[in-house]
Amino acid sequence: MHAGKLTDRCPYFPQRFGQKLSVVESLSHLLGADADPVAAGYHLRQLAEGPPDTGIVLLAQLAAADSILEQSDPAILGAILRVMHNSIAKSIQDQPQQTIEKLDHTVIRSVAERLPEAATNRHLLLHLLAIMRSAESLKALVAILIQRPPQDWMNAGLVLSPLMQRNDWPIEAFFPECLACLPHPSLAASLLDLANYLTRSGRVDGHLAADHLETLNHLLGSVATRLGHFEENPRTLGNDVEEVQKRLSEAVALAVSLCDAVALIGDESSIGKLNQAVGLRHRRVQCEAAGALAKLGDEEGRKRLIELAGDPAARLRAIAYADELGWGDEIDESNRSDAATAEAELALWLTQPHQMGVPPTHVEFIETRRLMWPSFNDPVDVHLVRFEYSMGANVYSNIGMTGPSVYTMSCDLADMPVDDIYAIYAGWQAEHPDIFTVAADSLNEAQHRVMDVFGQHLQHLGYESIRPELLGLFLDERAGVFRGEREGTQCIIVTDGLETIDQPTAGRLRPLTASDAFHLYKGRKMLRTFNS
């Protein structure tokens, strides 16, 4: 199965029949047009469980595979690259310098250039070139970025992330040649973020993209136009929700990076395009454009920043820009209060693409308590904030938490007592190896017996139609979570035999799940124990 194309450089476990296969043997079953996708999972698992240098060996074997790569299943190739990258990343954590010295930029480039276009995870090879941080590896990286840029802006960000995290790499090996990739939307934001970082950190004299200002202004105008069309008709970015979110995130990231870049370059020729961007409804873009205008001395930008400080979704950035520019005292002090900050933190979190994606219609601070909290050694301020989305005749609202972290539960907390809202968030945030759950269909015999005892206890308490959901283990305590009925009302129930909690589920659009009920149970116990 094309094994003749690979060279056996791996001395480990060549035996079959239940023994681990060598990297070469496992790889020979994965490459080529006749590779079995069903058996691929087994062989990939063999590679993932291989010795520490499996990733390095995999890389060499892929480079030696000649034309087999082009004939191979793109999905299987992507999985191989993921295993290879994970192995090398782990080795770098354990032995950074020794592992990086084993990487060969010519080998990585050879594999990257011969992968079929449809192969997933190709960006992981480019990430390794950036991790190497040598002049040769960075020149190879630029060449690949120009020839075959990543199609996803998040992947492009991962590729360049090592250059943001370290300052021991030769800038001249990467800039200015990499700026030839600015026309690619997937790369432009990450390249500009890197150039902005190098300028802000003082590693370069003047902005590295200053000679491309005309291109930057054109890009800013284009992305502002695209976002404006999206605000009028979201279908301009696609018909599939996931596709629209991806393109919107890419456009917003590019707009933000462009605003930052032209502000750092500091040329008034950018004011027109920034005014176009500040007129958009997207709060993040508005705020970045207003901040850039203010940095360029534009009075309208300053006024808009002051206005944005009153908008919870833009408040934190607007205040930060005003403070940076030296006129933070013009911001109303009420926008700096703990309550206003809590509202802003939740609104900003909800606005992120992986959450609601748009700012809430309304946010309202509820209260703050200073509590001993899971994962913290000292008391912290925990804030509760109500938020609402008005969507025509429909309204979606809930209560979120800020302080120790920012989060909103999926279940509806609106009618829950405030003490229990704190408790369910405390239970959600609690992490410990001895805190976990076992689903009812995965219980062993001993765990079944424990759940039977809990079930009998609930029957004695008057619950009916009891069905086990999961067993929760909380340090040295156990609690069973069940579905059942009490007085004709369907509910979710959790009990440890001493304390029993139930929450109605009938007639609720977003009732508590079994996991939510266990969060509530353990949160109550922790807050009582540590805040008595």
Q: Name which of 403, 416, 413 is nearest 368 in CA terms.
A: 403
398-421: burial string, b at 16+ Cβ within 10 Å, e else: bbbbbbbebebbebbbeebeeebb
- Interval 441-485: pLDDT, tens: 999 999 999 999 999 999 999 999 999 999 999 988 999 999 999
For residue 226, what are the contacts with CB-CB under 8 A and spacing of at least 6?
236, 237, 251
User: What percent of the chain shows pLDDT beyond 70?
Assistant: 96
- Interval 163-218: pLDDT, tens: 999 999 999 999 999 999 999 989 999 999 999 999 999 999 999 999 999 999 99
What's the pTM? 0.81
Instruction: Assign 3-state DSSP to the chain and report helix, strand, coil percentages, each to 5.
Output: 55, 15, 30
Residue linked to tokens 């950018």: 270
**Does pLDDT of 235 surpass 80?**
no
Domain boundaries, the chain: 209-336, 337-408, 435-531
Q: pLDDT band at 112, cuts 50/70/90? A: very high
CA distances for 436 relative to 33, 433, 474, angstroms: 43, 7, 7
Q: pLDDT band at 258, cuts 50/70/90? A: very high
